[in-house]
Amino acid sequence: MTKGYFFRGNPVSFEEAFPEIEEIKIEGTEGDIAQRNKLSLNKKTWGISCSNPLCKDKGYGVKLGDFISEMYHKKETSKEKIISCGGYESMGRGQTRRCLNHLSIRVEIKYKLPEVQQEVEN
């Protein structure tokens, strides 16, 4: 099975989901109030899991994918956002609470030049 990401359907590669993106840079911090982890992601390593060891259903994948998808469709090149973790912590006796971690990011996208412009530049 190929590694892929869910974008409201079957899993696909980053290149299939966003064919016009040449480069993507994702920088920011992840964690809770007490501990912050710096991160730097790109096209090959853009998925990120929650660092909270108590968190179930860890991660920011769908929300981060939706954020990138929104930027992609609007052709935005730079944007910042805070994304809450989609997971939860078990509190015992069948009770849960949402994970308190969040991802504070800045995304920069460089789009591929249209084919006509690439031919003129060469």
Mean pLDDT of the chain: 80
The pLDDT value given to residue 46: 61
Mean of pLDDT values over 18-24 = 92
Residue 101's Cβ-side half-sphere holds a number of Cα atoms within 13 Å equal to 25
Judged by DSSP in three states, 10 sits in coil
Q: Is the pLDDT of residue 19 over 80?
A: yes
Structure tokens at 104: 């504070």
For the chain, where are the E strands, in sequence order? Answer: 5-6, 11-12, 21-31, 36-42, 55-56, 78-84, 88-92, 95-98, 102-111
Q: Is the pLDDT of residue 10 over 70?
A: yes
Residue with tokens 């981060």, as numbered in its chain: 64
Phi, psi for residue 70 in degrees, rounded to 5 = -65, -45
The pLDDT value given to residue 74: 96
103 or 118, which is more confident? 103
pLDDT digits (tens, 9 = 90+) for 63-115: 777 888 999 999 999 999 998 888 899 988 889 999 988 888 899 999 998 87
Structure tokens at 51: 């660092």
* Strands 102-111 vs 21-31: parallel, antiparallel or unpaired: antiparallel
Q: Which residues contact 120 (CB under 8 A, 6 or more apart)?
A: none
